[in-house]
Amino acid sequence: MSRLFVIKIGGNIVDNESKLAQFLSDLSSIEDRIILIHGGGKIATALADKMGVEQTMVNGRRITDASTLEIVTMVYAGLINKNIVAQLQANGCNAIGLSGADGNTILSHKRTVALLDYGYVGDVDMVNTSVISALLQAGLVPVFSAITHDGKGQLLNTNADTVAQEIATAMAKEFKTTLIYSFEKEGVLLDVDDDASVIPHLSSEYYEELKAESKIFAGMIPKLDNAFSAVSRGIDGVIIGKAEKIKELTSGKTGTLIK
Amino acid sequence: MSRLFVIKIGGNIVDNESKLAQFLSDLSSIEDRIILIHGGGKIATALADKMGVEQTMVNGRRITDASTLEIVTMVYAGLINKNIVAQLQANGCNAIGLSGADGNTILSHKRTVALLDYGYVGDVDMVNTSVISALLQAGLVPVFSAITHDGKGQLLNTNADTVAQEIATAMAKEFKTTLIYSFEKEGVLLDVDDDASVIPHLSSEYYEELKAESKIFAGMIPKLDNAFSAVSRGIDGVIIGKAEKIKELTSGKTGTLIK
């Protein structure tokens, strides 16, 4: 099987013009097949402010009402996605920007209301790999925003880490797939304030141990749960690390590896 | 050669939720290959108002400063494009939304400043047909917003009628291509207030005659100049007519035909 990297780029990098430009330049020099996934939180919040649309956050998660869905569709699938694609093109990388509605690539359903109504938020049901494979085959680099659809005309705001995990596990049937979560930290850290405390290999046993001792930074837990779920579903491995070292991450020289 | 319809949908239809829904449902039932192009003026203006970004229009054309470029990228390539794609998917049509940056499909350059600086407005240099053909081959229906790029990382706002014409003439090398301008009128009218005055066939001689007699509605002239330019560049024909009759337009039963 040939190799594929499914790379999620964190919001703090997307928000930083010079870091993003360097990341996209580095990414363009990678010779393996790549799929890129981005979110982009702060720009959406800034636009909502300008438009006077109040944003409700519960436990760090955005409640997506109808106006907020319009905003995230504009910002994620429009402004950020097309600027990333244009910059990749400028670096000689033939990128194609997609939402999950495009080519019917990612089907989701509106999250059922339990204790809290998250609004127009999608939980992924299926990734259609045939169109994604056809694009890769044509030499294109798919760039996904985390907007999906329900197949009945409704767009849905979706967690970008989850989108990356779902794409990676689906593509693992056709490619030797590595999922990379690239963000502002060196990897999974034993001490959140010390970049030198990166854990090079994280087994599920060690992860459970660290969680039990409350040694894992709370914000990392959903990402790591996603990572272990992906590994159990057939992908080759998950690498978590610094976006500024994306090339070293793909060659396994830095970051935290989960197998 | 197999047949291809390149269809431009007018802003007044995009702005009207129920007309757009009907159009997309009708479009999904057409069995020939299709490429759809849309703009979407009023929604961008409404967003600019909400954000307090002043819009300058000169002779009906928008001056695209940096803030306005962000707005049209969000509205055209994000909000409108993804909602059109999601609705087509709901109708069983496997649409894929694109800007000219995606797959490097449409290269343009920033318009040189002559008497007036239009800002970030692109004049098309080249349509790369290979990616578009690969998408058609994969059974996808490309849906273009009128945002293009210069290959150096700059997105550019581009006239949607021109984008449609450039795509149609480029694709004419591989397909028997008909360009359709669909909008709120029955076709090219002798009397702008009388829908029954539609001209069924418009030759270039008759067009010059009507222009000399000032019998062509001024707003139609750029569209018709685009149409005659397309015909002279190898496409099979241009049809101008009512979006609500899109199926009849593709079978040549209504509208104005230019050959």
pLDDT of residue B226: 86
Pick the range with the lowest mean pLDDT from A194-208, B10-24, B121-135, B205-219. Answer: B205-219
The alpha-carbon gap from A102 to the nearest alpha carbon of chain B, in Å, equals 4
* Cross-chain residue pair A86–B52, CB shorter than 8 Å: no
pLDDT of residue B223: 85
| Contact present, A184 and A195 (Cβ < 8 Å) | no
> pLDDT (tens digit, 9 = 90+) per residue, A191-249?
888 989 999 999 999 999 999 998 887 778 888 998 999 999 999 999 999 999 999 99
Q: Do the domain assignments include residue A238?
A: no
pLDDT of residue A40: 82
* Average pLDDT over chain A, rounded to an integer: 94
Q: Is A104 on the interface with B (CB under 8 A)?
A: yes
The ipTM estimated for the assembled molecules is 0.95
* Cross-chain residue pair A90–B152, CB shorter than 8 Å: yes
Determine the structural domain holding residue B247 and report its residue range. 3-258
Rounded to an integer, the average pLDDT of A7-15 is 93
- The pLDDT > 70 percentage for chain B reads 100
pLDDT of residue A157: 96
Q: Is A92 on the interface with B (CB under 8 A)?
A: no
Rounded to an integer, the average pLDDT of A117-129 is 95
Chain A residues with CB inside 8 Å of B134's CB?
A: 134, 138
* Cross-chain residue pair B153–A86, CB shorter than 8 Å: yes
CATH number (domain holding residue B60): 3.40.1160.10
Is it the case that residue B257 has pLDDT exceeding 80? yes
Token pair, residue B219, equals 């707003």
- Residue A140 is nearest to which of B103, B147, B149, comparing CB atoms? B103
pLDDT of residue A124: 97
Chain B residues with CB inside 8 Å of A47's CB?
A: 51, 74
Tally C-beta pairs within 8 A across A and B: 130
pLDDT of residue B107: 98
pLDDT of residue A80: 98
Is it the case that residue B12 has pLDDT exceeding 80? yes
- Give the span between the Cα atoms of A249 and A245, in whole angstroms: 6
Choice between B178 and B219, residue whose per-residue pLDDT is larger: B178
- Candidates B84, B226, B61, B224; CA nearest to B157 is B61
Q: What are phi and psi of B58, to 5 degrees?
A: -125, 120
Rounded to an integer, the average pLDDT of B27-46 is 93
pLDDT of residue A66: 94
* Cross-chain residue pair A97–B102, CB shorter than 8 Å: yes
Q: Is A87 on the interface with B (CB under 8 A)?
A: yes
Residues in CB range of B7: below 8 A, 6 or more apart: B27, B34, B35, B36, B37, B164, B180, B182, B246
Q: What are phi and psi of A211, to 5 degrees?
A: -65, -45
Q: Is B151 on the interface with A (CB under 8 A)?
A: yes
- Give the span between the Cα atoms of B163 and B152, in whole angstroms: 19
Chain A residues with CB inside 8 Å of B142's CB?
A: none
Is it the case that residue B10 has pLDDT exceeding 80? yes
Which whole-number Å values give the CA distances from B249 to A150, B35, B183, B200, in the listed order? 31, 15, 11, 11
- Residue A83 is nearest to which of B47, B76, B155, comparing CB atoms? B155
Which pLDDT band holds residue A116 (cuts at 50, 70, 90)?
A: confident
Q: Do the domain assignments include residue A86?
A: yes
- Residue A86 is nearest to which of B97, B101, B131, comparing CB atoms? B101
Is it the case that residue B116 has pLDDT exceeding 90? no
- Residue B104 is nearest to which of A51, A94, A103, comparing CB atoms? A94
Q: Name the residue in chain A with its Cα closest to that of B131.
A: A138
Q: Name the residue in chain B with its Cα closest to that of A137.
A: B134
pLDDT of residue B91: 98
In the block, residue with structure tokens 């390539």? B77
- The pLDDT > 90 percentage for chain A reads 80
Residues in CB range of A227: below 8 A, 6 or more apart: A165, A179, A181, A238, A240, A258
Which pLDDT band holds residue B59 (cuts at 50, 70, 90)?
A: confident
Residues in CB range of A64: below 8 A, 6 or more apart: A72, A118, A119, A120, A121, A156, A157
Chain B residues with CB inside 8 Å of A89's CB?
A: 101, 104, 149, 151, 153
> pLDDT (tens digit, 9 = 90+) per residue, A29-68?
999 999 999 988 789 999 999 898 998 888 777 899 999 9
pLDDT of residue B183: 93
Q: Do the domain assignments include residue A69?
A: yes
> pLDDT (tens digit, 9 = 90+) per residue, B215-224?
887 778 888 9
**Domains contained in chain A, number:** 1
* Cross-chain residue pair B101–A94, CB shorter than 8 Å: no
The alpha-carbon gap from B173 to the nearest alpha carbon of chain A, in Å, equals 20
